[in-house]
């Protein structure tokens, strides 16, 4: 338990060795954050879910703060996804009189997931809740960041924005939960984890994210306290600006970076990939290399999101694209990573076919990637194939640099 500011406390629990949403690998874990606001009345904003004995931690925290669980008057549910609301059933066992404050959509989901309908107050933009002692909470609808039910809660006294998933990041919290207590390197770690989180969980909703940033930016924010990751107490603008950039990357020009996504059956395409890695090193451009299916979708997505250039390398497989590459490209398409500069090469045995499937995926998701002419080679790449690939990669790097410099 830590103190965010006078009368506001955080309970944060790290989760590791699980797939987030049953799907996303988290090599560095994630924190789940819950907040307690003490006015004359007490409210809990979001919660930490029931895994890992968390209700006990919550009850211990309440004990430390001399708050009887039965005296908690309000549960504010910014977003109903069970990583934030899964503890309600446990909480109900000890306090049957609390009131839930949430959006209309959250109320519907609360009934659908937990059958909970008692004492639910639905709020909308600019509605307020007075906890006493000047803690007047104001609600802001930020739908589709990333579920349609999402709101943010703003404490007008302290300028604290409880943003739930918005402005969150992966990465477990170890040394401190607050940006003012972390080194630049530690902040960089959470920035990388924010990119992973954004690209995996929020990216498809980049337009609603932009609207949410615009809306929240009208508030006199002093602290951003998200449901995942660290609290931004020293520099809340940093995470707002970072999220603005991540949202903008959806439309195309991102960083001066290249991501290679590749697969190989018997090492023929791999020979050309090794050559491309040397070329990128010579070109001194930042690049990421991901082999599929060995690398998780989440890791691939994180570097695709920040890369302006993408290189796809794969053999033809049963007249189509190497299946793991097709699968990850489908996911990239669903996240709407548009307008990348791209190049494809790879090996085939007796027939091509990868291009047709690649075109289908690009069209299906309206990705509008700008591809250089592909290079395919029969069996192993010959010297002339490697030379041609090298030439294309150099063109790609040059075009990426031109685009980024604008
Ligand atoms: Fe952190 Fe959408 O739940």
Q: Is the pTM of this model over 0.75?
A: yes
Distance 404 CA to ligand 1 centre (A): 32
Residues whose CB is less than 8 angstroms from the CB of residue 188 and which lie 6 or more positions away in sequence, other chains included: none
**Does ligand 1 lie within 6 Å of residue 83's CB atom?**
yes
Eight-state DSSP code of residue 372: P
Q: Does 191 have pLDDT greater than 70?
A: yes
Same fold: 2-249 with 255-394: no
- Which atom of ligand 1 approaches the CA of 227 most closely? 1
Quote the pLDDT of residue 351: 86
Spell out the domain ranges in the chain.
2-249, 255-394
Q: Does 248 have pLDDT greater than 80?
A: yes
The dihedral built from the CA positions of residue 214, 164, 29 and 111, taken in this order, carries a sign that is negative
**Does ligand 1 lie within 6 Å of residue 79's CB atom?**
yes
| CATH hierarchy code of domain 2-249 | 3.60.15.10
- pLDDT band at residue 22 under the 50/70/90 scheme: very high
Q: Does 378 have pLDDT greater than 80?
A: yes
Q: And the tokens for 314?
A: 């794969």
**Does ligand 1 lie within 6 Å of residue 341's CB atom?**
no
Distance 360 CA to ligand 1 centre (A): 32
Mean pLDDT of 224-239: 97
Total Cβ atoms within 10 A of residue 28: 16
Q: Does 60 have pLDDT greater than 80?
A: no
Quote the pLDDT of residue 49: 55
Quote the pLDDT of residue 264: 96
Distance 111 CA to ligand 1 centre (A): 18
DSSP-based helix, strand, coil % in the chain, nearest 5? 40, 25, 35
More confident: 56 or 363: 363
Q: Does 308 have pLDDT greater than 90?
A: yes
Distance 165 CA to ligand 1 centre (A): 5
**Does ligand 1 lie within 6 Å of residue 340's CB atom?**
no
Return d(Cα 316, Cα 329) in angstroms, integer.
15
Return d(Cα 186, Cα 176) in angstroms, integer.
10
Question: What SS3 state is found at 107?
Answer: helix
- pLDDT band at residue 234 under the 50/70/90 scheme: very high
Measuring CA to CA, how many Å separate 243 from each of 197, 378, 398? Answer: 11, 44, 27
Residues whose CB is less than 8 angstroms from the CB of residue 134 and which lie 6 or more positions away in sequence, other chains included: 39, 157
Q: What percent of the chain has pLDDT over 70?
A: 98
Distance 154 CA to ligand 1 centre (A): 18
Detail the DSSP E strand segments found in 228-353: 255-262, 286-291, 307-313, 316-317, 320-321, 341-348
Quote the pLDDT of residue 375: 97
Q: Does the bond joining 293 to the residue before it have cis omega, within 30 degrees of 0? A: yes
**Does ligand 1 lie within 6 Å of residue 357's CB atom?**
no
Direct distance between the N- and C-terminal alpha carbons of the chain, in angstroms, rounded to an integer = 47
- Which atom of ligand 1 approaches the CA of 82 most closely? 3
The dihedral built from the CA positions of residue 223, 226, 231 and 232, taken in this order, carries a sign that is negative
Distance 350 CA to ligand 1 centre (A): 47
> Picking from 41-50, 191-200, 299-308, 391-400, which range would have the lowest pLDDT averaged per residue?
41-50
**Does ligand 1 lie within 6 Å of residue 165's CB atom?**
yes
**Does ligand 1 lie within 6 Å of residue 81's CB atom?**
yes
Distance 21 CA to ligand 1 centre (A): 8
Mean pLDDT of 113-142: 96
Tell me the pairing of strands 8-15 and 2-5: antiparallel
Return d(Cα 238, Cα 144) in angstroms, integer.
22
Return d(Cα 44, Cα 9) in angstroms, integer.
10
> Picking from 25-34, 85-94, 279-288, 350-359, which range would have the lowest pLDDT averaged per residue?
85-94
Distance 84 CA to ligand 1 centre (A): 7
- pLDDT band at residue 404 under the 50/70/90 scheme: very high
pLDDT tens, 149-184?
999 999 999 999 999 999 999 999 998 999 999 999
CB burial of residue 214 (10 Å; 0-12, 13-18, 19+): exposed
Q: At CA 341, angle to CA 241 and CA 358, rounded to 5? A: 120
Q: Does 50 have pLDDT greater than 70?
A: no
Distance 346 CA to ligand 1 centre (A): 39
Of 376, 406, 33, nearest to 223 (Cα)? 33
Q: What percent of the chain has pLDDT over 90?
A: 86
Residues whose CB is less than 8 angstroms from the CB of residue 230 and which lie 6 or more positions away in sequence, other chains included: 169, 173, 176, 177, 178, 179, 182, 190
Return d(Cα 187, Cα 300) in angstroms, integer.
22
Quote the pLDDT of residue 55: 67
Return d(Cα 143, Cα 255) in angstroms, integer.
28
Q: Whose CA is nearest to atom 2 of ligand 1?
A: 81
Quote the pLDDT of residue 66: 84
Of 14, 22, 24, 33, nearest to 302 (Cα)? 24
Q: Whose CA is nearest to atom 1 of ligand 1?
A: 165
Mean pLDDT of 204-226: 97
Quote the pLDDT of residue 183: 97
Total Cβ atoms within 10 A of residue 288: 18
pLDDT tens, 84-110?
988 888 888 888 889 999 999 999 999
Quote the pLDDT of residue 91: 82
**Mean pLDDT (the chain, rounded):** 94
- Which atom of ligand 1 approaches the CA of 150 most closely? 2
Q: And the tokens for 367?
A: 């990705």
326 CA to centre of own chain: 22
322 CA to centre of own chain: 27
**Does ligand 1 lie within 6 Å of residue 149's CB atom?**
no
**Does ligand 1 lie within 6 Å of residue 227's CB atom?**
yes
For domain 255-394, the CATH class is alpha beta
Q: Whose CA is nearest to atom 3 of ligand 1?
A: 81
Return d(Cα 33, Cα 47) in angstroms, integer.
7
């Amino acid at each position: 338990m830590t103190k965010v500011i006078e009368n506001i406390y955080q309970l944060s629990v790290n989760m590791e060795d699980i797939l987030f949403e049953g799907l996303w690998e988290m090599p560095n874990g994630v924190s789940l954050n819950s907040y307690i606001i003490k006015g004359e009345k007490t409210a809990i904003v979001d919660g930490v879910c029931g895994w890992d004995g968390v209700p006990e931690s919550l009850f211990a925290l309440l004990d430390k703060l001399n708050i009887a669980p039965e005296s908690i008057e309000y549960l504010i549910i910014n977003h109903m996804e069970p990583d934030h609301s899964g503890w309600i059933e446990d909480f109900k066992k000890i306090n049957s009189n609390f009131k839930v404050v949430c959006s209309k959509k959250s109320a519907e989901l609360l009934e659908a997931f937990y059958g909970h309908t008692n004492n639910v107050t639905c709020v909308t933009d600019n509605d307020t809740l007075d906890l006493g002692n000047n803690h007047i909470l104001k609600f802001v609808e930020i739908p589709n960041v990333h579920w349609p039910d999402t709101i943010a809660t703003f404490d007008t006294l302290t300028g604290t924005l409880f943003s739930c998933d918005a402005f969150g990041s992966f990465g477990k919290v170890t040394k401190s939960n607050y940006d003012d207590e972390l080194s630049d390197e530690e902040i960089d770690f959470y920035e990388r984890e924010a990119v992973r989180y954004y690209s995996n969980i929020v990216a498809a909703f980049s337009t609603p994210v932009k609207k949410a940033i615009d809306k929240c930016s009208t508030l006199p924010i002093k602290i951003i306290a998200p449901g995942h990751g660290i609290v931004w107490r020293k520099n809340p603008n940093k995470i707002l600006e970072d999220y603005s950039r991540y949202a903008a990357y959806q439309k195309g020009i991102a960083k001066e970076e290249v991501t290679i996504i590749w697969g190989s059956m018997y090492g023929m395409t791999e020979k050309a990939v090794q050559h491309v890695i040397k070329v990128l090193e010579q070109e001194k451009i930042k690049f990421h290399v991901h082999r599929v299916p060995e690398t998780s979708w989440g890791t691939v997505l994180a570097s695709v999101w920040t890369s302006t250039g993408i290189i796809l390398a794969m053999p033809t497989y049963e007249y189509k694209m190497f299946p793991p590459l097709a699968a990850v490209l489908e996911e990239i398409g669903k996240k709407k990573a548009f307008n990348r500069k791209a190049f494809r090469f790879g090996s085939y045995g007796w027939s091509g076919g990868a291009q047709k499937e690649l075109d289908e995926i690009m069209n299906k998701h309206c990705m509008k990637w700008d591809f250089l002419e592909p290079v395919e080679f029969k069996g192993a790449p010959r010297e002339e194939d490697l030379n041609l690939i090298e030439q294309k990669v150099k063109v790609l790097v040059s075009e990426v640099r031109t685009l980024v410099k604008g």
